[in-house]
Amino acid sequence: VKGSLGCWIDGVATDAVAANDRGLQYGDGLFETLLLRHGAARFLDAHLERLTLGLARLGIVFVDVEPLRRDIERAVALAPPLAILKIIVTRGSAPRRGYAPTDGAPARRIVTLWPTSPTDALKSGVALGIAHSRAATSTALAGMKTLNRLENVLAAAEIADGEFDVIMVDAAHRVISGSSSNLFIVNDGRLATPRVDTAGVAGVMRGIVLREAARLRIASELRDLTLEDVIRADEAFITNARIGVVPVTRVGEHSFRMTDLAPKLRAHIEALDA
């Protein structure tokens, strides 16, 4: 794959996927984006747990995680000090046309190693826009990092110069997330972030932040947030596996005065060994 440092499909180095792969035909699969740092896949267990739970939810047969672990080890061994590993698992090739899954068709692993650059410069914060295109409400797919990401594509197309991401909002005016990040707000030292049961992705870094906040005795809650809630918050930050925790300095026309907790959480999580 052009620009990548390697691509392996079911463990074989190749750039070509079967045209009848159900990932291409229907977006019938999931993916994970891992940060590789100095020879280790960051938060690997959390990524593999989310992946295997999602595959079970979709009924994609993935009996043995060991071949995928070997793919990851191979990529980690080849990776520069900082890299991204994108893992796609699809329901494999369709032996015939049609949406209905075929019993027992084996899943397919597509693992691509990408270069990336340090995100230290994001420490001082980023600006977010607000996407006009509305996030779907879907209890069937919410929370999972499925290959059905066209609405994230449409939202990301709205990112303006000077903005790092855009906030996606659903038809009921609930804030969902960024197009490629989860969003947290902070009020009186307490965290809040939207649930992901009607839309959005249960980001691995979102989970790490919630876990580490508990360890640091920082209160947090999952609740509906409006754009108004975001703008009135003491501070806000976004998270994903690549960037970690990044303070938000601006949302649309509104500037935040404080970026207090986010830098602390960022440093704390960066120092974790996992």
Interface with a second copy (CB under 8 A): 1-4, 7, 9, 14-28, 31, 33, 58-59, 84, 86, 88, 90-91, 93, 95-101, 110, 112, 114, 133-141, 146-157, 159, 171, 179-180
Q: Which two tokens stand for residue 204?
A: 């691995």
Considering beta carbons, is residue 162 or 215 the nearer one to a second copy? 162
The backbone torsions φ and ψ at residue 154, rounded to the nearest 5 degrees and listed phi first, read -65, -40
User: What SS3 class is residue 113?
Assistant: strand
Burial letters 59-82, b for 16+ CB under 10 A, else e = ebebeeeeebeebbebbbeebeee
Closer CB to a second copy, residue 84 or residue 233?
Answer: 84
Maximum Cα interatomic distance, the chain, rounded to a whole number of Å = 57
Rounded CA separation 122/124 (Å): 5
Beta strands in 207-259 (DSSP E): 220-222, 235-240, 244-251, 254-255
Residue 33: CB minimum distance to a second copy, A: 8
Nearer to a second copy, 8 or 43 (CB): 8
Minimum distance, C-beta of residue 223 to a second copy, in the bound complex (Å): 19
Residues 6 or more apart whose CB falls under 8 angstroms from that of 257 comprise none
The least distance separating a second copy from the CB of residue 104, rounded to whole angstroms, comes to: 13
Q: In angstroms, give the least distance from the CB of 31 to a second copy.
A: 8
Residue 217 CB neighbours (<10 A): 6
Looking at beta carbons only, is 19 or 63 nearer to a second copy? 19
Both tokens of residue 15? 């750039």
Question: Which C-beta is closer to a second copy: that of 20 or that of 124?
Answer: 20
Q: Do the beta carbons of residue 146 and residue 30 sit within 8 Å?
A: yes
Q: State which residue, 155 or 210, has the beta carbon closest to a second copy.
A: 155
Report the nearest approach of a second copy to the CB of residue 29 (Å): 8
Q: How far apart are CA 127 and CA 72, in angstroms?
A: 33
Nearer to a second copy, 101 or 263 (CB): 101
Query: What is the C-alpha to C-alpha distance for residues 161 and 129, in angstroms, rounded to an integer?
Result: 10
Report the candidate in 225, 234, 239 with the shortest Cα–Cα distance to residue 255: 234
